[in-house]
Structure 1
Amino acid sequence: MQFQIIPVTSFQENCSIIWCEKTLQGAIVDPGGESELLIKAVEKLNITITKILLTHGHLDHVGGAKALANHYQIKIYGPSQEDRFLLDNLPQQCVQFGFPFCEAFEPDNWLNEGDIIKIGEEQLSVLHCPGHTPGHIVFVNHLQKVALVGDVLFHNSIGRTDFPRGSYPDLISSIKTKLFPLGDDFTFIPGHGGISTFGQERINNPYLT
């Protein structure tokens, strides 16, 4: 699995374009906005986008999802249904954070622990990792040892839990019982900031040691 990370909007959230090197089929993960920028990036990569994947329902990770799904005529997958209240309240989130208007929407497929997403010949497993939001999910490529973790874990930090229905105990449990057991050699792509490994964070992250 190949990937390119493109920070978008004033929140500088990481939107990831991932693709299968053999089939050149790809997906856009957590498109928070700036859809035209992402479309141009896809054109340069010369790949075919077949899915939009969402880790959770916060505006800065879903703001461009509907526009891109309409542009490519494809389906939106994720997050877990516990984040429905966030997607229902997208217009209010726009006002709160000063973002361009974004209409509420429902994904074509809610995702749950154990679901499998196929991108060409690549395969992503779904983990339910609540804490930052109740319906937060993580996408795991076991073969390449890469995980797209949204806002659960960052390099030297962890996700916020002071948003509606956030839970610090749930977040720590998600990291320690769902992510770290994948292995120290797993690389993860966070929702903001640089990539890291679970091993590095297990040993050095001040919020977890």
Structure 2
Amino acid sequence: MSPDETQTAPVIQPTNPKTAATLIVPVLVACFVAGALGVYGKLHEPTGFAVNVAGFSSPLTVKVWLATLAFVLAIVQLFTALVMYGKIPLRNASWLGGVHRWSGRLAFIASIPVALHCLYALGFADYDTRVLLHSLLGCFFYGTFAAKMLILAKKGVPGWALPLFGGLVFTALSGLFVTSALWFFTTSGVKF
């Protein structure tokens, strides 16, 4: 091959060290939160005790429906984020920012009783693949959620970081829905 026939590799610009440093604390917090939840869930002696809510047939159905609510709100989050980032064209969408923020808040609030029940009553379980994946996704969800919230409040964060962490939060919550509520609905039917 002659020198004239060689191709030049594309030049990749290095990340600004200050920009990359803005992600260190959120990523460390994510690792800490996920790890702490996993360790607590594994070391804590599960009580098997759960609180039921009036109108539901069991504590499990409460968890299933709250997880479903969180997942539906996460879909709202995904849609509104895609519109805000210009991936889905929508006119006169100034109201979407508020819908995005509130759907996220409500999804997180709906997930808290589910997580508390899982940690307190069941612990970090690994007796089959679905349950292990669910336990890991639960820890990952709260870790990435913590990182995403920290990234929202930081200045100088790379433009790709928020969509990345938002996508990770959505993916984790989707996996949690599939390994819990959807699994329940497909094996036990839709119950209240």
The TM-score range, normalised by the shorter chain, is under 0.3
TM-score when normalising by structure 1: 0.22
| Higher relative contact order (CA closer than 8 Å, sequence separation 6+) | 2
The structure that has the greater radius of gyration is 2
Query: What TM-score results when the alignment is normalised by the length of structure 2?
Result: 0.23
**Per residue, is there more helix in 1 or in 2?**
2
